[in-house]
């Protein structure tokens, strides 16, 4: 399976081969990095992530950990822990995220209550709220 994705402005484009598990991360660092209540990721072997266009900006968020994003539009793209053989890619930047539905949640010890109840029972509008 090969899937493609890119950032909001289109400057960064990438390709993934053999995507592994997709999951939601509820850690506080992903929350701040994305500005979202939780961040969904998909793991791939390091060699199965291919940057096909553009250049990413790197932020070293911890020792041995980098978070790469588009320096033009800010879309978070990649989480890379040097000691792991896999990297993680933000599911929301895929062209077709629904092809890889998340199978589990991690760092639920710090999950926001709003992330636990995402959308449940709240009014849902197809577009903007009327």
Residues 37 and 44: their CA atoms lie apart, in Å, by 23
4, 13, 27, 36: which one contacts Zn ion (CB under 5 A)?
27
Both tokens of residue 53?
A: 């266009």
Measured from the CB of residue 130, what is the shortest distance to Zn ion in angstroms? 31
Is residue 11 near Zn ion by the rule CB under 5 A? yes
Is residue 112 near Zn ion by the rule CB under 5 A? no
- Residue 96 burial (CB count, 10 A): 9
Residues 53 and 114: their CA atoms lie apart, in Å, by 35
Measured from the CB of residue 120, what is the shortest distance to Zn ion in angstroms? 22
- Judged by the rule CB under 5 A, the positions of this chain that interact with Zn ion are 7, 9, 11, 25, 27, 30, 70, 72-73
């Amino acid at each position: 399976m090969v899937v493609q994705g890119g950032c909001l402005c289109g400057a960064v484009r990438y390709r993934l081969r053999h995507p592994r598990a997709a999951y939601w991360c509820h850690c506080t660092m992903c929350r701040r990095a994305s500005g979202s209540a939780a961040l969904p990721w998909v793991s791939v072997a390091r060699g199965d992530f291919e940057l096909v266009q553009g250049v990413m900006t790197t932020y070293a968020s911890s020792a041995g950990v980098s978070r790469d994003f588009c320096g033009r539009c800010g879309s978070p793209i990649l989480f890379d822990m040097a000691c792991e053989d896999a990297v993680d890619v933000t599911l929301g930047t895929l062209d077709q995220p629904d092809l890889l539905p998340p199978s589990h949640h991690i760092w639920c010890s710090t999950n926001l209550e709003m992330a636990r109840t995402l959308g449940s029972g709240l009014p849902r509008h197809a577009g903007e709220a009327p």
